[in-house]
A = this chain, B = another copy of it.
Amino acid sequence: MAPRTACFLVIGNEILSGRTQDANIRVLAHALNGRGIRLMEVRVIPDIADHIIATVNDCRARFDLLFTSGGIGPTHDDITAACVAEAFNVPLTRHEDSFRQLEALFPAGEFNRARQRMAWLPEGATPIKNSVSTAPGFSLGNVHVMAGVPRIFHAMIDWLAPQLEAGAPLTSASWYSHDVYEGDLADRLTAIQQDFPTLDIGSYPFEHGTERGVALVAKGYDADTVIQAGSALKDLLQTLDFTPKEGDPPRSP
């Protein structure tokens, strides 16, 4: 089983302007980790059609899976479906099941033209269901289009993730300690990386209020090797007279 790769395209002027704090990257990363799919790149881009179309085509070719968020509501700046259709060179067509479901939801007279627009998907797309809203997510080829509002994004990925073809599961082992500085362990950490060339050995300084320290992480596709490397990381912290703790530092920033 080979590792699978993913890219996440966040379509949203509101993230780029600083108006909104991203809350979806972490949710997607954790859902993909659980399926053996590795998030390799995130791009945040504005609601500009040419920019969206070019980026969708670049990223869907370079990664096994592409996820997008944002731009699927009923207003004039919701252009994601039209851009994905153009990227795939297919027309937007009315999705009859989605149309009927939306129609049934609104009182007479309120299923207006703007709301009907949400039933128009690129030809060949299949809807991504979610338990909390009528937002029209969809999958087309290896591209999965989701809502930007975190509660809806979360519900969509909960529904979608179990259906994604799984990749090779990545195992990780991590140890952290307060008060240690990276400069005190850098050379010995390099030696551990050399001892385990098939793994990624990483070092992540953290700060949380007045607490600070370093987390050391080993990752790879062979669980036994990862456990051995984790044990070497633990020993490194102990040799330096720090008290290693297993896992992530509390509320790492």
Interface range, A side: 35 or more
Residue of B nearest to A215 (CB): B19
- Of the listed stretches A91-99, A199-207, A227-235, chain B binds A199-207
A183 to B113, CA, bound (A): 9
On whether the beta carbons of B253 and A23 are closer than 8 Å, the reply is: yes
A82 interface residue (CB < 8 Å to B):
no
Complex contacts, A117 vs chain B, CB 8 Å: 186
Residue of B nearest to A38 (CB): B16
On whether the beta carbons of A33 and B46 are closer than 8 Å, the reply is: no
Copies in the complex: 2
On whether the beta carbons of A203 and B73 are closer than 8 Å, the reply is: yes
Which of B77, B200, B201 is A201 in contact with, Cβ under 8 Å?
A: B77
Within the complex, the shortest CB–CB distance from A158 to chain B, in Å, comes to: 15
> Scoring A residues 199 to 228 as 1 if CB is less than 8 Å from chain B, else 0, what string do you get?
011111111000000010101000000000
Within the complex, the shortest CB–CB distance from A196 to chain B, in Å, comes to: 12
On whether the beta carbons of A204 and B112 are closer than 8 Å, the reply is: no
> Scoring A residues 170 to 200 as 1 if CB is less than 8 Å from chain B, else 0, what string do you get?
0010000000001111110110010000001
- Of the listed stretches A24-32, A137-145, A159-167, chain B binds A24-32
Within the complex, the shortest CB–CB distance from A39 to chain B, in Å, comes to: 5
Which of B41, B47, B112, B217 is A45 in contact with, Cβ under 8 Å?
A: B41
On whether the beta carbons of B42 and A46 are closer than 8 Å, the reply is: no
On whether the beta carbons of A114 and B22 are closer than 8 Å, the reply is: no
Complex contacts, A205 vs chain B, CB 8 Å: 73, 149
On whether the beta carbons of A114 and B183 are closer than 8 Å, the reply is: yes
A74 interface residue (CB < 8 Å to B):
yes
A20 to B15, CA, bound (A): 17
A10 to B41, CA, bound (A): 10
A252 interface residue (CB < 8 Å to B):
yes
Complex contacts, A114 vs chain B, CB 8 Å: 182-183, 186-187
On whether the beta carbons of B16 and A39 are closer than 8 Å, the reply is: yes
Complex contacts, A13 vs chain B, CB 8 Å: 200, 202
Complex contacts, A45 vs chain B, CB 8 Å: 40-41
A100 interface residue (CB < 8 Å to B):
no
A residues near B (Cβ < 8 Å) are 10, 13-23, 25-30, 33, 38-47, 51, 73-77, 110, 112-115, 117-118, 149-151, 172, 182-187, 189-190, 193, 200-207, 215, 217, 219, 248, 252-253
